Structure 1
Amino acid sequence: MKLNYLKSYLILLIGLVAASCELDNFEEPKSTLEGRVVYNGEALGLRSQGVELELWQHGYDLFQKIPVYVAQDGTFSAVLFDGDYKMTLIRGNGPWMDRTDSIDVQVRGSQMIDVEVQPYYVVSNPSVSVNGNNLSVTFTINGINTNRNLEFAAIYMGRTSLTDAVRNEGDFIIPAGEIELGSTVTVEVPIPAALAGRNEIFVRIGAKTVGIPELLYTQVEGKTL
């Protein structure tokens, strides 16, 4: 009886060692897909991790999406196995018109792609300067696809470069009724008390479309106080 127990134990031990060796020998993905979400060739400013792209690979038993999150400067990256993938954009996730077609992506070593989208509104010609206890801010909102109305523009102020509608120490909202598309907007924005004693402030301007949760932003800009 003891001999049978010993044999069973040895068989189990050998199985565990073999499984461990298989895990140690498992090849990890080494190829890199890098890219940008762009309009007219320019990377778009977004909320960090607010927009998600999806990668799908057919031909495998486990068929599920590979999520790829976009950084605030519009760039993204993923480490993958070599292969052929389909990239899709989630409906209503980004501040642009829905794109129903998928994008064919071939990954062989390192690959770079641009994902072209059609925003509803973009912020152009941003300018921020410190004026005493205020920020002097100018910008222009241009309508690209105006089948959805502009809801507001906003200036977001923060203590780090990760500043947006969710992470900020102060904001200044300008309703759509006070904005003429294509014309320069100039505002004096009080610097929040939480930031007044700091050496530097980070500023972004965002445009919010009605019915779309995510804003389209300018790239973050740091200003010395």
Structure 2
Amino acid sequence: MKANNIHFKPLFLALLALSALISACEKDNRVEPKSVLKGRVVYEGQPVGLRSNGVQLELWQRGYQLFTKIPVHVRQDGTFSAALFDGNYKLVRLRGNGPWVDNTDTIEVALSGNTELDVPVQPYFVFQNDTYAKGEGKVSATFSLKQVTAARTLERVNLYVGTTSIVDPNNNAANAQEVAANIKDLSKPITLTATLPAALAGRDYVYVRVGVKTSGVGEMLFGEPQKVMLK
């Protein structure tokens, strides 16, 4: 019995090594997707500003047995990309996942090589004519706010200041806000001013960005980040 165990152990180890080698070869031979789907989330043909990686789209592809979900994160400038195999996909805008009116209509995507796609949305509010300026230890933004749909009401507007172009509620060094109760007339320009903390006082420049929060909507819509020279 002991002799059998002695012969069995080297055989077991050899089979284990062979299994590991086969598994490694399978991984090395796995084909990577070659095609890229690039796109933008747009309103009236222009990309929508978002919180960095805060909004997600979903791609679905039917396989032999399963309907596979592929999450696609949208960048703060409204663009997205995904490396995929050629084939037919369904793109879905998730309910309650963006600062726009829910639209769960499926967009059919026939991918064959690199493909570009615009995904239309209808925001609740958008910024217009935004301008930025520096002051003594302060930066300010003046803008108009257009209500695209009356389906929901305004909650607040914000100005965010940061040291990089990634600027949002989670990435800022200073901010200012005005609540809807103090904004009586959307036909008039709105000005927000943020005081710079001591940590930013010696910098040559900062990045600023305005955002609007709609009541009952989790994500905010943003303007483009702007570089403001302080010196």
Distance apart, 1:7 and its partner CA: 4.0
2:190 matched residue in structure 1: 185
Does residue 84 of structure 1 match 2:88? yes
- Quick one: structure 1 residues 33 and 181, their matched pair in 2 at CA, closer, same or farther if it must change by over 3 Å? same
Q: State the distance in 1 between where 2:195 and 2:15 align.
A: 73
| TM-score, with structure 2 as normaliser | 0.91
Identity %: 45
Q: 2:207 aligns with which of 202, 206, 209?
A: 202
Query: Which residue identity is paired with 1:15?
Result: S
Q: Deviations over 1:63-89 (max 9, x none)?
A: 332111111111111111111111111
Q: State the distance in 1 between where 2:143 and 2:175 align.
A: 16
Q: State the distance in 2 between where 1:4 and 1:188 align.
A: 78
Instruction: Note the aligned Cα RMSD (angstroms).
Output: 1.6
**Could you tell me whether the CA contact under 8 Å between 2:159 and 2:193 is conserved in 1?**
no
Unaligned runs of 5+ in 1: none
**Aligned pairs for 1:62-141 within 5 A:** 62-141=66-145
- SS across alignment from 1:64: strand
| TM-score, with structure 1 as normaliser | 0.93
2:221 matched residue in structure 1: 216
Distance apart, 1:99 and its partner CA: 0.7
Unaligned runs of 5+ in 2: none
**Could you tell me whether the CA contact under 8 Å between 2:176 and 2:193 is conserved in 1?**
no
Query: Which residue identity is paired with 2:191?
Result: T
Q: 1:166 aligns with which of 164, 170, 175?
A: 170
Q: State the distance in 1 between where 2:174 and 2:151 align.
A: 30
**Could you tell me whether the CA contact under 8 Å between 1:205 and 1:218 is conserved in 2?**
yes
- Quick one: structure 1 residues 11 and 121, their matched pair in 2 at CA, closer, same or farther if it must change by over 3 Å? same
